[in-house]
Amino acid sequence: MKPSAALAAGLWIGAAAGLLIGAVYFRSVLNRGSESAQSDADLNTQAAKIKALQSERARLDAEMKRLRQTVAEMHRINPSTPSSLATERGSRFNPPTSPATTEPTPPVGPPGEPPSTIRPVDLPPVPEGSDDPSTNTAPKHAIGAARIVGKVLFVGQAPTPKKINVSADPKCAELHATEPLYAEDVVVNENGTLRNVFVYVASGLENLKFDTPTESVLLDQVGCRYEPHVFGMMTGQKLVIRNSDPTLHNIHGLPLKNPEFNIGQPNQGKETTKLFTQPELKVRIKCDVHPWMSAYVYVLAHPFFAVTGQNGTFALQGLPAGAYTVGAWHEKYAPQLRQVVVPADEMQEITFSFPATP
């Protein structure tokens, strides 16, 4: 073979080999790029998983902190309570509440004038027709012989009692296996009167100051309901809250002028004491565990109040002679006021009427 031919052949062979080597190198580059892209995708996926795990851990840490606080509170209330019985508390269980109602503040005395302290005298007999024990003012607080008595009528068609479904708690369901539980928001008596109306002296006692009663007021949880449903008490008076049921209850007080409270009572027979230092009307108390449970307490600076019962009557007894404004409050209907003048040793009768349609 001629040298030129050999040179040409060598050049062709070298070019072919170069092309082959270049192709192999280019393919390896492409493979490495693909593997790199896959590796980047894997890294991104792993990073996302790690971020999600970190977020979940932060959420669990916050939940554990909240549970520790609840357990600590439960042990403070009842040191013998196991940690597993810690009560769930807080806004996550709180359904939206109705807007605050503007309410007259019970009088505590005019500015700049110190009120006089009143000592009790004997209470006159209960007037005929006011034999409902829940309506009578405690005898020890009487300061005169004047009396304001009356009744609260319901005008219109009485609503059908609403049966409550308590199956969410097996203990409550067992307690009401034979006797259903009904709502107490509107209870119309057989004689056409309205039950659970709070009647009180709204004005006329501004210059008087009354001793705080030494006896406590009891709010019991029995049959997965509050008893009583509506009640009154004086500022500074002890409120004893008892759990008479074999199940967990939560007592969530929602005052506007006094401190809010939210406590758990997991054990039957457990009692907790609370105080209201400021006069306040229509303070709702609910159970976050059993949403159908509610009660209303009215806190006054004097003892002249009553709650209508099965007769729909009330009696404000032992008042001094004078002119008074008497108020009537109900959890569903708008409050009402009546003016009355009572001479010494006499009785005045008034009537409130609540329409079926507010």
Q: Is residue 103 part of a domain?
A: no
- pLDDT tier, 357 (very low <50, low <70, confident <90, very high otherwise): confident
- Note the pLDDT tens digit of each residue in 41-67: 666 666 676 676 667 667 767 666 665
- pLDDT tier, 40 (very low <50, low <70, confident <90, very high otherwise): low
Q: Is residue 325 part of a domain?
A: yes
**Are 173 and 271 members of one domain?**
yes
- Domains held by the chain: number: 2
Q: Is residue 219 part of a domain?
A: yes
**Are 267 and 325 members of one domain?**
yes
- Note the pLDDT tens digit of each residue in 11-33: 455 555 555 555 555 555 455 55
Q: Is residue 348 part of a domain?
A: yes
> Domain range for residue 41?
1-86
**Are 138 and 81 members of one domain?**
no
Residue 144, φ and ψ in degrees, nearest 5: -170, -170
**Are 191 and 331 members of one domain?**
yes
Query: Which CATH number goes with the domain that contains 271?
Result: 2.60.40.420
| Mean pLDDT lowest among 104-108, 205-209, 340-344 | 104-108
- Per residue, the 3-state secondary structure of the chain, as one string, reads CCHHHHHHHHHHHHHHHHHHHHHHHHHHHHHHHHHHHHHHHHHHHHHHHHHHHHHHHHHHHHHHHHHHHHHHHHHHHCCCCCHHHCCCCCHHHCCCCCCCCCCCCCCCCCCCCCCEEECCCCCCCCCCCCCCHHHECCHHHCCCCEEEEEEEEEECCCCCCCEECCCCCHHHHHHCCCCCEECCCCCECCCCEECCCEEEEEECCCCEEECCCCCCEEEEECCCCEECCEEEEECCCEEEEEECCCCCEEEEEECCCCCCEEEEECCCCCEEEEECCCCEEEEEEECCCCCCCEEEEEEECCCCEEECCCCCEEEEEEECCEEEEEEEECCCCCCEEEEEEECCCCEEEEEEEEECCC
- Note the pLDDT tens digit of each residue in 124-168: 344 333 444 444 444 467 889 999 999 999 999 999 999 999 999
pTM tops 0.75, yes or no: no
Distance CA 280, CA 328 (A): 14
Q: Is residue 159 part of a domain?
A: yes
Q: Is residue 93 part of a domain?
A: no
> For 301-319, what is the mean pLDDT?
96
**Are 80 and 126 members of one domain?**
no
- Note the pLDDT tens digit of each residue in 269-305: 999 999 999 999 999 999 999 999 999 999 999 999 9
